[in-house]
Amino acid sequence: MNEGLIKNKGFVTLMLAQTISSIGDWLSIVAIITLVGLKWNASPMEVSLIFLCLAAPMALFGPIAGSLADRFNRKTLMIVSDLIRAGLILILTLADTIIVVYVCLFAVGIFSSVFIPAKNGKLKEIVSESEMKSAMSFSAMIDSSTKVLGPFLSGMLVSALGSQLVFLVDSITFIASAFIIFFLPKTAYSLESNEQENKLKTSFKTEFTIGFSFIKNNLFLSIGLVFLGISLLLIQLADSQLIVLIRELTSASPDLFGYLVTASGIGMFLAGFLLARKTEYKSFTLMLVGALGLGISFGTMALFTMFDAGLSIIWMPLLGFLAGFSATLVFVPFHASVQIETPVHMTGRVFGVVNSVATTATIIGPLLGGWLSTVVGVLPAFFISSSLLVLISFIGSLINKKRREDAAY
pLDDT tens, residue by residue, 28-46: 776 777 667 666 777 767 7
Three-state SS at 190:
coil
Residue 192 placed within a domain: no
Residue 165 placed within a domain: yes
Residue 197 placed within a domain: no
How far is residue 37 CA from its own chain's centroid? Answer: 21
Least confident of 24-28, 139-143, 251-255, 393-397: 251-255
> What is the mean pLDDT of the segment spanning 123-150?
74
**Segments forming the whole domain that contains residue 180:** 3-184+203-408
The domain tally of the chain equals 1
* Residue 189 confidence (pLDDT): 44
E-strand ranges in 96-146 read none
Could you tell me the pTM of the whole model? 0.67
* Residue 124 confidence (pLDDT): 78
| 193 has pLDDT over 70 | no
> What is the mean pLDDT of the segment spanning 168-175?
86
Report the distance separating Cα 262 and Cα 152, nearest Å: 7
* Residue 180 confidence (pLDDT): 93
In this predicted model, what pLDDT tens digit does every residue of 231-257 receive, in sequence order?
Answer: 988 988 888 788 888 888 887 666 787
In this predicted model, what pLDDT tens digit does every residue of 344-390 receive, in sequence order?
Answer: 667 767 777 787 787 778 778 878 888 888 888 889 999 999 999 99
Report the distance separating Cα 203 and Cα 194, nearest Å: 16
Residue 137 placed within a domain: yes
Residue 196 placed within a domain: no
Residue 148 placed within a domain: yes
* Residue 198 confidence (pLDDT): 47
Residue 78 placed within a domain: yes
Residue 111 placed within a domain: yes
* H-assigned helices in 92-203: 98-126, 132-161, 163-181, 195-198
> What is the mean pLDDT of the segment spanning 124-145?
75
**With pLDDT > 70 as the criterion, what percentage of the chain qualifies?**
82
> What CATH number is given to the structural domain containing 80?
1.20.1250.20
* H-assigned helices in 189-241: 195-198, 204-216, 219-239
